Amino acid sequence: MILKNVKVFTEEKSFQDGEVAIQDGVFVERMEAEGEEVIDGEGCYAVPGLIDLHFHGCKGYDFCDGTQEAIREIARYEASVGVTAICPATMTLPEEELIHILSTAASYREECGKGEPLAADLLGVNMEGPFISAEKKGAQDAKNIISCDTAVCQRFLDASGGLVKFVGIAPERNGHALEFIRRMKEQVHISLAHTNADYDCAKAAFDAGADHAVHLYNAMPPFTHRSPGVVGAVSDSSHVNAELICDGVHIHPSVVRATFKMLGEERILLISDSMRATGMPDGRYTLGGLEVDVVGNHATLTEGGALAGSATNLMDCMRTAVKQMGIPLETAVACASMNPAKALGVYDAYGSITPGKKGNVVLLDPDLNLKMVIKDGVIIRR
Ligand SMILES: [Zn+2]
């Protein structure tokens, strides 16, 4: 397949007029075989398939439903909107339930999750709980919060068959968080998540080897001039990546712009944090066992009104970052494809339109409307 007349997103994070060639499901320098399908891209942007590394669900399903059907339907919806690889998140649930969810994901990947063109590839799992802080629980259920524990964490990693890529902790919760980080960091990325840590505590956690911050600004202390908190510690720790929810609800556009200036575009990961109502009508849904009311792109807990994830998929978040927040398209694309691929350790196969990588590409018209999704070299949406 050759996509002609497109603006191709390059590894240097710019657009170049040209074409994209895909053979046997992977990008190639040029076509070898005759008679390949030629598609006129009509001047569209050709961007790598996006990768969402923090979201909970969509289309009425939640990853924590713990069924293969849920994972399959989530993966299909995501692929249909141009998010061709996923790393869904778990909520703060009892250990047995989390073990079941993780082993279901492991068996999904074993049986049907590899290279199905209609569904996004399942690349990992982002664990938001249960090692978090009740003070910053957000929409997580406080009754299931526990202290960070290497034995419990090891059971999670084992149950997932290596799928768990991030484990979130609140380092201020107990005395041995640093020891936990040092012992687990070789196996999994440790993130700071739903935490009330001050600057010193967060900095010590990053110095010990934590390297990821879950939805920066949300469910953590505010960034102020005398108490910079987790945000200041992220700014001062150049090895740490930060997730940003760019749905236009969770973070003010000015703060998103300021964050790009503060951290630079290399360390920012756009995420959707979407819940099951995404792609569904307004109404009452659940998240981690709690009821959530969804109106437009606002999802809030029925009780108390805390923000409960988003109702916006990552493609719409990327579009919002560009059109409503003034983030350059090249930067937003990189932060929703290239950077997540690097953070997940799969940049050799995902995250850019490079010969040898998986043929996952999305065509966007000049107004950023979705025109085509190609997954593994197969057109799945036109
Ligand atoms: Zn959260």
d(CA 53, CA 49): 13
Spatial CA neighbour of 220 closest among 201, 252, 196, 250: 196
Residue 114: per-residue pLDDT = 64
Ligand 1 centroid to Cα of residue 27, in Å, is 35
Ligand 1 centroid to Cα of residue 90, in Å, is 9
Confidence of residue 111 (pLDDT cuts 50, 70, 90): confident
User: What does residue 341 show for φ and ψ, rounded to 5 degrees?
Assistant: -65, -40
Residue 174: per-residue pLDDT = 73
- Residues with a catalytic annotation lie at 273
Strand partners, 191: 168, 212
Residue 33: per-residue pLDDT = 63
Ligand 1 centroid to Cα of residue 138, in Å, is 7
Residue 324: per-residue pLDDT = 97
Residue 288: per-residue pLDDT = 87
- For residues 64 and 55, the answer to whether their CB atoms sit within 8 Å is no
User: What does residue 51 show for φ and ψ, rounded to 5 degrees?
Assistant: -130, 115
pLDDT, tens only, 200-232: 999 999 999 999 999 999 999 999 999 999 999
pLDDT, tens only, 233-264: 999 999 999 999 999 999 999 999 999 999 99
Ligand 1 centroid to Cα of residue 6, in Å, is 37
Confidence of residue 115 (pLDDT cuts 50, 70, 90): low
Determine if residue 23 is left, alpha or beta; phi over 0 gives left, psi from -120 to 50 gives alpha, anything else beta.
beta
d(CA 220, CA 243): 13
Ligand 1 centroid to Cα of residue 353, in Å, is 31
d(CA 308, CA 203): 27
pTM, to two decimals: 0.97
d(CA 272, CA 75): 14
Who has greater pLDDT, 115 or 11?
Answer: 11
Sign of CA dihedral 244, 343, 108, 117: positive
Whether residue 191 is predicted with pLDDT greater than 80 in this model: the reply is yes
User: CA separation (Å) from 132 to 137, 138, 194, 206, 215?
Assistant: 7, 10, 6, 16, 14
Q: Please report, for the chain, how many H helices and E strands are present, in that order.
A: 10, 23
Sign of CA dihedral 290, 79, 360, 26: positive
Residue 31: per-residue pLDDT = 73
- Mean pLDDT across 262-283: 96
Whether residue 35 is predicted with pLDDT greater than 90 in this model: the reply is no
Find the angle CA(90)-CA(96)-CA(102) to the nearest 5 degrees: 45
Whether residue 271 is predicted with pLDDT greater than 70 in this model: the reply is yes
Whether residue 32 is predicted with pLDDT greater than 70 in this model: the reply is no
Name the maximum alpha-carbon separation found in the chain: 66
Ligand 1 centroid to Cα of residue 132, in Å, is 10
Worst-scoring range by mean pLDDT, 27-31, 95-99, 162-166, 337-341?
27-31
d(CA 45, CA 10): 11
pLDDT, tens only, 286-334: 998 899 999 999 999 999 999 998 999 999 999 999 999 999 999 999 9
Write down the mean pLDDT value for the chain. Answer: 95
- Mean pLDDT across 15-26: 96
Neighbours of 40 (CB within 10 A): 11
- Domains contained in the chain, CATH given: 1-48+351-382 (2.30.40.10), 50-348 (3.20.20.140)
- Mean pLDDT across 7-30: 96
- Mean pLDDT across 143-157: 96
Sign of CA dihedral 157, 106, 210, 247: negative
- Mean pLDDT across 111-133: 89
- For residues 163 and 109, the answer to whether their CB atoms sit within 8 Å is yes
Worst-scoring range by mean pLDDT, 33-42, 71-80, 177-186?
33-42
Residue 30: per-residue pLDDT = 82
Confidence of residue 148 (pLDDT cuts 50, 70, 90): very high
| Residue 105 in tokens | 């994901």
User: What does residue 373 show for φ and ψ, rounded to 5 degrees?
Assistant: -125, 125
- For residues 237 and 216, the answer to whether their CB atoms sit within 8 Å is no
